[in-house]
Amino acid sequence: MKKTVTTLADGRELIYYDAGDDAVRDAVDARPLDPVTSASEVRYDALLGDSVVIASHRQTRTHLPPADECPLCPSRDGRQSEIPSDDYEVVVFENRFPSLSEHAGRCEVVCFTSDHDASFADLTPERAALVLDAWTDRTAELAERDGVEQVYCFENRGAEIGVTLGHPHGQVYAFPFTTPRTALMQRQVAEHHARTGGNLFDDLVDRERADGARVVLEDEHWIAFVPYAAHWPYEVHLYPTRRVPDLRALDDAARTEFPQTYLELLKRFDRIFGPDEPPTPYIAAWHQAPFTDERREEFALHLELFTVRRAVGKLKYLAGTESGMGAFMNDVPPEAAAERLREVATK
């Protein structure tokens, strides 16, 4: 992998990731851009014990532009975008409308391909491996920044999810705090260890493997299953079979196998509701151990993939019990979801 670091016209960092060492990335961003200003603020909620980011400046961010004005496409035919080059493989750059300001974390955009009409599932295994390299590199670099507690790599796909740019891309957030969901996992892991002496993540994976009813696929180095208490209609958790705390710790064997496994999962997601339905909207979220956790080696890196579509033409909206009280109600039994995801296998 070759990594080329440059800056955009307003001073934001942009990084090209190329599979070959011969790639030349010397295009210059000539746009007349003012420096990025943001006023995000992290506020602590004393009642719930978590943090909320206030980011009012994001109200003016780009929202669903036409394809010929996409800011994530390459710069071509006299039209300048966020990427100065006329083509690229994988690109990461600082978000122009960050939820987290420079003094309170960092927000980055990850473009998976220059093809506006593609999706992650359309990538070759080689390109998916390059994206994994980019995620890992960003985790490693952001981990060294002062004040960063956790790095979150994720993809939102589909207008139903709230995506404001149709180009295939994801994001990386470097949080100055441990996210509430991760804090809950840490608490459960600690309580499980105190009660049983075992590791909660290991025991959960072992239970799903032994039961088998909710296992979607298993390769030598990865296992994917619908969790026993799935919150979403179709939800899959993907774990490396050797527990590691974050992307940096994956061994070569797991890294090599990941593209085929993950691409297969994404292709199955697009088959859930039948061939005549539009692509399945989803969120794909990497869960990594916070850097400040003294027991971070007990945390298990994993990816959670889920969709808000519950049936053909129907979405799962968070009801009053879910939005108001955090008590989820799932219409699709996890065993039925797993069976459907096995039925639509492409292998």
Express each pLDDT in 298-344 by its tens digit: 999 999 999 999 999 999 999 999 999 999 999 999 999 999 999 99
Residues 287 and 140 in one domain: no
* Span 135-181, pLDDT tens digits: 999 999 999 999 999 999 999 999 999 998 999 999 999 999 999 99
* Rounded distance between C-alpha atoms, residue 313 and residue 273, angstroms: 9
Q: By the 8 A CB rule, do 73 and 91 touch?
A: no
pLDDT confidence of residue 67: 85
In our burial notation (b when 16+ CB lie closer than 10 A, e otherwise), range 187-218 reads: eebeebeeeeeebbbeebbeebeeeeebbbbb
Torsion angle defined by CA atoms of residues 73, 77, 81 and 86, in that order, rounded to the nearest 10 degrees: 60
Residues 94 and 197 in one domain: no
Residues 18 and 56 in one domain: yes
pLDDT confidence of residue 116: 97
DSSP single-letter state for residue 102? G
Residues 213 and 329 in one domain: yes
Residues 222 and 144 in one domain: no
pLDDT confidence of residue 347: 64
Give mean pLDDT, residues 209-220: 98
Residues 170 and 184 in one domain: no
Q: By the 8 A CB rule, do 99 and 173 touch?
A: yes
pTM: 0.96
CATH number at residue 319: 3.30.428.10
* Span 263-283, pLDDT tens digits: 999 999 999 999 999 999 999
* Span 38-79, pLDDT tens digits: 778 889 999 999 999 988 766 666 767 888 899 999 999 889
Domain boundary among 120, 146, 175: 175
Q: Could you tell me which of 304, 289, 99 has the C-alpha nearest to residue 183? A: 289
Residues 251 and 325 in one domain: yes
Residues 75 and 57 in one domain: yes
Residues 106 and 203 in one domain: no
β-pairing verdict for 282-287 and 222-225: unpaired
Residues 275 and 234 in one domain: yes
Query: Residue 80: is it exposed, middle or buried by C-beta count within 10 angstroms (0-12/13-18/19+)?
Result: middle
Domain boundary among 159, 175, 191: 175
Q: Show Cβ contacts of residue 188 under 8 Å, excluding neighbours closer than 6 positions.
A: 200
Give mean pLDDT, residues 210-237: 98
Residues 233 and 273 in one domain: yes
- Per the structure, the count of domains in the chain is 2
* Rounded distance between C-alpha atoms, residue 273 and residue 219, angstroms: 25
Other CB atoms closer than 10 Å to residue 177's CB: what's the count? 20
pLDDT confidence of residue 61: 67
pLDDT confidence of residue 63: 64
Query: Residue 255: is it exposed, middle or buried by C-beta count within 10 angstroms (0-12/13-18/19+)?
Result: middle
For the annotated catalytic residues, the residue numbers are 169
Give mean pLDDT, residues 216-241: 98
| Residue ranges making up the domain that contains 13 | 2-175
Residues 266 and 167 in one domain: no
Q: Could you tell me which of 141, 119, 115 has the C-alpha nearest to residue 15? A: 141
Domain boundary among 175, 199, 228: 175
